[in-house]
Amino acid sequence: MTKTERPDELGESDAPPLNAPPPANSAIPPVNLPEQAFTCQKHGAYRGAPVRCTSFDGRVKIIPPDCPKCLEEAALAKEKEEAELKTRQKTARFTQMNIGKKFWDEDFSTFNAYTPQLKAHVQTCREFAAAPHGKLVMLGENGNGKTHLAVSILKETSGVLYTAYEITLKLHAAYNGFGSEWEIFKELCETPLLVIDEVEKVKDSQHKSNWMSHVVGKRYDHLLPIIFIANCHMKNDCTSNEKPCPKCLEFHLENDVISRIVEDGSLLKFSGADYRYKKRIEAKEISG
C-alpha cells in the first residue's frame, strides 16, 4: 500500500488545534478530527478524517485516513491472492488424488446424464458419495462417463485413483528398489476411498490378482469403500463368439477376486452411445 503523506496544510485547516497537550498520565481515547484533504503518492488527492491519538506520556500523533483507492486495491489483491491459494490447494488435492487434469473441472454438476440408465447411475453414485461403503463396480465400453462419475465421488470424499497398470508399475518399481512395497499397500488399503480404473488393462494377471485380492480383502476388513472401473462386461452378459472373450471381466480377474468384488457391491453397467462423443456434440451445439 502506498504510504499516505500528511499534508502541510493540516495545521492551516479549520480543524481544531491538533497538538493541544493532554492532561499528563491519563489515557486519552483517539479523537476523530474533521474531514480534510490528503494526498496519496500513488492516487493523488483524497479527503478523509484523520484521527488524533495521544499516548500516556502526552505525545500526540495524527493518523491520516487510508486512501480509499489504496484500500480498494489492497482488497482486490487479497481477493486475488485468496483465489490463487484456493486454486493451488485444489491442484495439490487433485494431484495427490492422482486425478488427471482433464477431470479437474468435472464433477456431478458437469455430468451429462442423457439416458435413463445414466440418470440412475448418477443417482447411485451420488448416494455412494454421500455415504461411501462397500464396492461400486462400473462396467462398460470406454467413453461412457465411468471415470467422470468416479472422480465426482472421489472429490466429494477423499482418497486416490489409480489405474491397475499404475499400481502394477508402482509395485514393480518397489521390487526394484524404488519405493516401499509396504507403503504402497498401506496407501491402497487405508486410503478413505480407492478407485481402480482400467482394471482390465494389465496382462500380468497372476500378479494383479494377488495384489488385488490382498487389497480388496484388507479394505473389506477395514470397512473401507472401493470403486472398480473396467472396460468389460460380466460373463453372463457376454454376446461374443470369441472364447475366451477378452471383454469378459472373468477373463481379467480370478474368480475369488470377482466374487469378493461383486458380493456386496453395486454393479453399474454402462451401455449405449459414446458419452464423450455425445458430450462433444452437445458442446458444439452450445458453442455453435
| Binding interface with Zn ion (CB under 5 A) | 2, 40, 42-43, 67, 69-70, 238, 240, 245, 247-248
Instruction: For the CB of residue 143, give the shortest distance to Zn ion in the complex, in Å.
Output: 18
List Cα–Cα distances, 64 to 21, 45, 49, 51, 61, in angstroms. 19, 13, 7, 7, 10
Strand partners, 135: 226, 265
Expressed in angstroms, the distance from the first to the final Cα of the chain is: 46
Instruction: For the CB of residue 145, give the shortest distance to Zn ion in the complex, in Å.
Output: 21
Residue partners of 64: CB distance under 8 A and separation at least 6: 4, 5, 6, 38, 48, 50
> Given the complex with Zn ion, which of 70 and 216 has the nearer CB atom?
70
Which position has the grid cell 453414485?
125
* Residue 9: DSSP 8-state: G
Instruction: For the CB of residue 148, give the shortest distance to Zn ion in the complex, in Å.
Output: 24
**Which 3 state secondary structure label does DSSP give 120?**
helix
Instruction: For the CB of residue 272, give the shortest distance to Zn ion in the complex, in Å.
Output: 17
Strand partners, 162: 196
Instruction: For the CB of residue 54, give the shortest distance to Zn ion in the complex, in Å.
Output: 27
> Given the complex with Zn ion, which of 70 and 153 has the nearer CB atom?
70
3-state helix, strand, coil in the chain (%, to 5): 50, 20, 35
Q: Rounded to the nearest 5 degrees, what angle is found at the Cα of 195, between the Cα atoms of 209 and 205?
A: 20
Which position has the grid cell 484456493?
86
> Given the complex with Zn ion, which of 187 and 250 has the nearer CB atom?
250
The answer to whether the beta carbons of residues 154 and 99 sit under 8 Å apart is: yes
Instruction: For the CB of residue 73, give the shortest distance to Zn ion in the complex, in Å.
Output: 7
Q: Parallel, antiparallel, or unpaired for β 51-54 and 60-63?
A: antiparallel
